[in-house]
Chain A
Amino acid sequence: MSERIIEFRDALCEAMSEEMRDDQKVFLLGEEVAQYNGAYKISKGMLDEFGPRRVIDTPISESGFSGMAIGAAMRGLRPIVEFMSWSFSLVAADPILNNAAKMLYMSGGQFGCPIVFRGNDGAGGQLGSTHSWCVESLYANVPGLKMAIPYDAYDAKGMLKTAIRDDNPVFFLESERLLSTTGHVPQEDYTVPFGQAFVRRQGTDCTLISFGRPLHFCFEAAEELAKEGIDCEIIDGRTIRPLDIDTMVKSVKKTNACVVVDQSWSFASIGSEVASQIHRYCFDDLDNFVHRVHSDDVPTPYASNLEQAYLPNTRKICEAVRSATYNT
């Protein structure tokens, strides 16, 4: 079968459009999603196809429109809320964390919240600290929500479809840096289930675990390390809640070394959580403690050289792998 190569952003658009064709309860709202075609052109053409009742431009009012969408989801509608950037979701922290994530529990099972919040997450575009948030570690702390981070076009489509069909609130984190990457996306309907990590590169010497865009640096690092004779296995965790720790553990039991690469800050983070679980389940298999690569523990700088140094980049990953495998 011939490859069908499309951009990551178009994969997202296809996922939303197909689900909206299938289910009238699904609709999209957010800033500039309709007439402007989306700040990152992800919803391009959707207004034309679905009209202004289902592709809805909102004012700059994250707390208001998130809360509004949650109210609608309590009645069984299935909103997709686009945050222009997850950085701006901070002003909507109360509705998305207090209402969406806890509604089912607080109502004793009476009202769920089938909603998707999605948008750009992460640094790398020289946007300065306010616009460069990686919210995964902040929000993953909260029970009641699911969190998915796709790495390629295939997963972007398959995971977004899963998110839209999920009866729980899903926080869907896209990287603006990945939107123009391309990949094979089949014509037929498919989904990518949550809670199933994906081994993206087989290797024998060290397990690299990451989510989303930093995987790109993991691949670069693996190339470089291969030249030094260090063979990395790369695991794309895909979802943070649920976390597929089993696949990660299986890999570490084979390689006996592990580096977690997480683009959020290190303190109380996805990286610290995964490392803690690996320590627990692979205590007797590890030849060294689990190493972690994060963004540096400072606000995101603007200057390009500083920002590149700040991110979990190839250099930092290589150093961590060499250290974890005693190749220093």
Chain B
Amino acid sequence: MDKIETEQNMASTELPHVQLGKAPLPESPILLGWLRQMLLIREFEVRTMQAYQNRLIGGFCHVYIGQEAVAVGSIAAVNPDDPIVLAYRCHGHALARGMDPKYCMAEMFGRIGGCAKGKGGSMHMFDAPHHLYGGHGIVGAQTPLGAGLAFATKYEDEVLHDGKSQHVTLCYLGDGAINQGAFYEAMNLAGLFNLPVIFILENNRYSMGTAIERGTTMASELHTKSAAHGINHAIVDGKDVVSMYQSFKSIADWCREESRPFFVEAQTYRYKGHSMSDPRKYRTREEEAREEGSDCIDRLEKFLCDEHDLTTDGIKQLTRQVKTQVREAVDWAKNSPETPMDELYKDVYVDHWGPFTGTSKPEMLQGEDE
């Protein structure tokens, strides 16, 4: 057979040289918006923990406190129709992407008003209108999906619309997930097929009780793992939303332009336990205090006060606003009816057959043409 030149057998053998500058900082109102989002996420998670204590939330539940800048800074750097897929610690990203907190809370309460009608729970937040393709409970499972979302946007742009690839997918994972085989397969495919996906490693240094160096080789040089798949990398301060955004914007623009993957290690810290039942015996209180000393919200507040005329009153006002918003979300979720029994057999198959009753959209989507 004649030799056929395909994109596939032209996979690069060298890491492309990429020098990315930092994107310019947006105007004050946008920066204030980030502060508001980070405050919202933190307040939401505090109320999530309370609701869990009060048994309104069941199962496994993982809060995002401490890591807010990663989701907010990275999501701010891409377009609203760029797909996002993530692991189970997913409330923060859902809110940063624009999901109304009431749908997120109602999902955890197992109510019909939840984003997935109470069928997914804390670890599985989905939001089609906001191009959020789920939290995923199996560690690492979201990484091939991320490659697939990027494959799809590229296929849509290039094959269906006969144009240039113009989307980029954000695929988040924890430092525990870098030990999963699925992630290496996803990186290899992304590198091989030139998929515009950014793998964002949220390195909070622990997977449950396992400190990263107890689970991963080359723990202080994680970029070697992506380099092995021909994927460029960057290391960013995940506790500084400004720097997160500035690096991320250049990276996302480059991935979009070049239709190539990227690996970003965002260095961050989770303040609370892994889930709701973690006494945190594997680390010291001193370490925690040190980490909380460079808190992402404090840092943005200080930056905005110093350079953008934010005042203590302004901060108080924002805080009040998000407290009200979250209280209303909790109330709304409490008042949302329990998911009715007829939902049990819905959404198993698209069509009706046997005991299965087809599918229907959650309340969150009503009015949406999906």
A: which residues have CB within 8 A of B? 24-25, 27, 34-35, 47, 52-54, 56-59, 61, 63-77, 94-95, 98-99, 103-112, 143-144, 146, 167-168, 195, 242
Contact = CB atoms under 8 A, between A and B. Distances in A.
Contacts of B150: 71
A70 B133 CA distance: 11
B144 A66 contact: yes
A74 B158 CA distance: 18
B351 interface: yes
B221 to A, nearest CB: 24
B155 A27 contact: yes
A146 B6 CA distance: 34
B348 A59 contact: no
Nearest to A57: B8
Given A52-B4, A71-B152, A111-B126, A64 B347 contact: no
Interface string B331-365: 00000000000000011111101100001111001
B369 to A, nearest CB: 13
Given A67-B143, A71-B144, A72-B148, 12 more contacts: A34-B4, A52-B6, A67-B186, A68-B145, A71-B133, A75-B149, A99-B145, A104-B359, A106-B119, A107-B120, A108-B115, A167-B351
Contacts of A52: 4, 6-8
Contact of B189 (A61, A70, A109): A61
Contact of B347 (A59, A63, A68, A109): A109
Most chain A CB within 10 A, of B7, B158, B182, is at B182
Contact of B185 (A34, A64, A74, A104): A64
Given A64-B147, A67-B141, A109 B346 contact: yes
21 contacts: A24-B159, A57-B6, A59-B188, A63-B182, A74-B145, A74-B152, A75-B149, A77-B156, A94-B182, A104-B350, A104-B359, A106-B124, A106-B126, A107-B116, A109-B116, A110-B126, A110-B370, A143-B348, A146-B349, A168-B349, A168-B350
A242 to B, nearest CB: 5
B361 A68 contact: no
B73 interface: no
Q: Give the 3 A-B CB pairs with smallest separation, nearest first.
A: A71-B148, A67-B144, A64-B185
Contacts of A61: 185, 188-189
A112 B347 CA distance: 9
A104 B145 contact: no
Contacts of A63: 144, 181-182, 185
Contact of B350 (A53, A98, A112): A112
A53 B155 contact: yes
A75 B152 contact: yes
Given A52-B8, A105-B347, A107-B126, A75 B114 contact: no
A2 B370 CA distance: 46
A71 B151 contact: yes
Contacts of B347: 104-105, 107-109
Nearest to A144: B348
Interface of B: 1, 4, 6-8, 83, 85, 114-120, 124, 126-128, 133-134, 136, 138, 141, 143-153, 155-156, 158-160, 181-182, 185-186, 188-189, 192-193, 346-351, 353-354, 359-362, 365, 370
A94 B192 CA distance: 22
Given A71-B152, A107-B116, A112-B350, A64 B362 contact: no
A66 B181 CA distance: 13
Contacts of A75: 83, 149, 152-153, 156
A241 to B, nearest CB: 9
B155 A35 contact: no
Given A66-B144, A68-B147, A112 B359 contact: yes
A168 B351 CA distance: 8
A152 B144 CA distance: 35
Contact of B362 (A53, A68, A105, A110): A110
Contact of A64 (B7, B155, B186): B186
Contacts of A27: 155
Nearest to B160: A24
A77 B152 contact: yes
A35 B147 CA distance: 23
Contacts of A59: 188-189, 192
B141 A77 contact: no
A56 B7 CA distance: 10
Contact of B138 (A24, A65, A98, A242): A98
B165 to A, nearest CB: 11
Most chain B CB within 10 A, of A27, A68, A77, A168, is at A68
